[in-house]
Amino acid sequence: MSKRYVMVHDENRCIGCQACSVACRSENGVPEGVTRLQVRVEGPFGDAPHLHFKYNRVSCQQCENAPCVTVCPTGAAYVGDDGLVSIKEDKCVGCMYCVAACPYKVRFINPETKAADKCNFCKDTRLARGELPACVTVCPTDALTFGDANDPSSEVAKLINTKATYQEKTHLGTKPRVYRIPTKRGGIQS
Amino acid sequence: MNNTWGDMAQYDPVTWNWVIAVYLFMAGLSAGSILIGIGLRWYSKEKAIESAILKAAAIISPLAITLGLACLVFDLTKPFEFWLILVNYNFSSVMSIGVLALLLYSPIGIAYSLIVLRDELTKRKLDFLVPVAEALMPMRKAIEVVLFVLAIGVGAYTGFLISAMNAYPLLNTAVLPALFLVSGLSAGAAANAIGALLMFNTHSHDTNLSKMHGLELPVMLSEIMFLFMLFCALYFKGGAAAAALASLTTGVWASVFWVGVVGIGFAIPLLTMLMPSQTRHSKGVMIAVACCSLTGVLALRHFVIYAGQSYIS
């Protein structure tokens, strides 16, 4: 695995416009009622007039140590050569062990294929053509950055190395590959 | 209120529902029932006659696992492709290991049942199965030992299956497999008692039945101890794990726990032990107590599945 695809979500730049979510739906043909990607607007936090919101990206974290892959009985959930956690639809029986085991709750059963589904960084479509994932391309504020963190000259590597970032639920040992740049607004927290 | 980011239905934390709780109950019941049946046979001096308890276990155990597996298969989103799980294995998955255990356990359990029930087969017009039972007879000891070991595996596996999910502090504990194994034993004993009393008309003072009755108190006490250990572990771990203790005080699953598991499952059977021996050993009371134990174990599986998935770390 020479590549290490990561995504950085700058929560300062994000405005919660949902363009990414719409682009994802159209690019990946995600059926009604289910989503691969949500940006939840949480808050407001702080005291008026200094209010701010938190924009929480909810999508597959592409864990390096993915619980969904460990628990999958048939090997339908697997880590590809590119390091991305993917699903072999025809091998999935729909036991929902992966849906239950995912600490980020981002897996769902696709109502059309009846197989488990989730974000795969547009691996089969845009990434295969050498393009960026749909959500990254469409973001009007450039809140999303995507690339190979193993390449020191890449934009993501520079971002991770220079900005303060955090990942969700690192205490579970999953090593998520979605990095977040926290909102800096608001008061000093004790 | 509507939100801009869309439907939240898929984010319901409870992925596995009552169908899985019933499966976990059935698998525990099947394993517990045959473990008690075989265990009592090994400890009884009279090995030539099949005891009513063992005969009841020979019916209950394969029936329970079959019904449980039916629940499991029809809970899949692609039930008719369940065979994929039988041909593809991922040994880092507890489910895969369980599938392998069940693949051996189920047919061996049926084979053992034929051996135990060979006399009943003729009575119930199933003569065509008698030659099969006779052919299996010489291998009885081996089948018995293998089945006993596999039953321990199946009983504990249901606990390992859900404790493997480290996002849920209430499930991700080391005592869960042990708790499920002992509560399976108590369900098995209860079901065996009902089977022996109703299907094989055992006298309620039968020696084997009393022996099994003697097991109930230690089994129930270890169940209570494991539950206590489970909640202590959560308390001392702190953080999200300690927050999961709210499952004992809030919501419908707290009621299921206190009424179903503690009240019906533990308190009623324990209180009946205070009754005069004459009443306590009447057929009616024994069956009622056994039904209470079964209800308690079923409630425990539901509590663990639902409350377990409701608290995420």
Name the pLDDT band for A153 (thresholds 50, 70, 90): very high
Residue A78 lies in a domain: yes
Neighbours of A60 (CB within 10 A): 25
- Cβ <8 Å between A95 and B4: no
In degrees and rounded to multiples of 5, residue A52 shows phi and psi of -145, 160
Q: Which residues neighbour A70 within 8 Å (Cβ) at sequence distance 6 or greater?
A: A101, B92, B93, B164
**Which residue of A72, A108, A171 is in closest CB contact with B93?**
A72
Interface test with B, best of A26, A53, A71, A172 (most B CBs within 10 A): A71
Q: Which domain holds residue A60?
A: 5-181
Given CB atoms, is B2 within the 8 Å cutoff of chain A? no
Residue A152 lies in a domain: yes
Interface test with B, best of A18, A25, A97, A119 (most B CBs within 10 A): A97
Q: Does the bond joining A133 to the residue before it have cis omega, within 30 degrees of 0?
A: no
Residue A189 lies in a domain: no
Name the pLDDT band for A187 (thresholds 50, 70, 90): low
Residue A21 lies in a domain: yes
Residue A139 lies in a domain: yes
Measured between CA atoms, the residue of chain B closest to residue A77 is B90
Residue A187 lies in a domain: no
**Which residue of B99, B166, B312 is in closest CB contact with A73?**
B99
For residue A23, the domain's CATH number is 3.30.70.20
CA distance A96 to chain B (A): 7
This prediction's pTM: 0.93
What share of chain A in percent tops pLDDT 70?
A: 96
- 3-state class (DSSP) for residue A180: strand
d(CA B313, CA B309): 10
Interface test with B, best of A40, A57, A61, A74 (most B CBs within 10 A): A74
Half-sphere exposure of A173 (CA within 13 A, CB side): 4
Domain total in chain A:
1
Tokens for A110? 């696709």
CA distance A9 to chain B (A): 16
Residue A28 lies in a domain: yes
CA distance A39 to chain B (A): 6
Location of structure tokens 């039953």: B151
Check the CA dihedral B51-B53-B55-B61 and report its sign. Answer: negative
- 3-state class (DSSP) for residue B100: helix
Measured between CA atoms, the residue of chain B closest to residue A78 is B90
Per-10-residue mean pLDDT of chain B, 313 residues long, equals 84 93 97 96 85 94 97 95 95 96 97 93 84 90 97 96 95 96 96 93 82 90 96 94 93 96 96 88 92 97 96 91
User: What local confidence, expressed as pLDDT, does residue A185 receive?
Assistant: 62
Torsional class of B138: left (φ above 0), alpha (ψ -120 to 50), beta (otherwise): alpha
Residue A172 lies in a domain: yes
- Residue A168 CA, chain-centre distance (Å), reads 11
